[in-house]
Homo-oligomer: A and B are copies of this chain.
Amino acid sequence: MARNAPLLNVITLDAEDIDSLKEFYVALGWPLTVDEELKVFELRGGVLALYPVERLARDGHAAPERGRNGIRFALEVLVGEPSEVDELAQCVERAGGRVTKPPVDADFFEGRSCYFCDPEQNYFEVAWAPPDNLIFAAARRAASQTG
A50-71 interface bits toward B, Cβ cutoff 8 Å, 1 = contact, 0 = none: 0000001101111111111111
Contacts of A115 in B (CB 8 A): 59-62
**Interface of chain A, main secondary structure:** mixed
CB <8 Å contact, B2 and A134: no
Question: In the complex, how many residues of chain A place their beta carbon closer than 8 angstroms to a beta carbon of chain B?
Answer: 74
7 closest cross-chain pairs (CB), A and B? A67-B67, A63-B70, A9-B45, A10-B76, A143-B146, A9-B46, A60-B115
| Chain A contact residues, CB within 8 Å of chain B | 1-3, 5-14, 29-31, 33-34, 38, 40, 42-49, 56-57, 59-80, 84, 88, 100-101, 115, 117, 121-123, 125-126, 134-135, 138-146
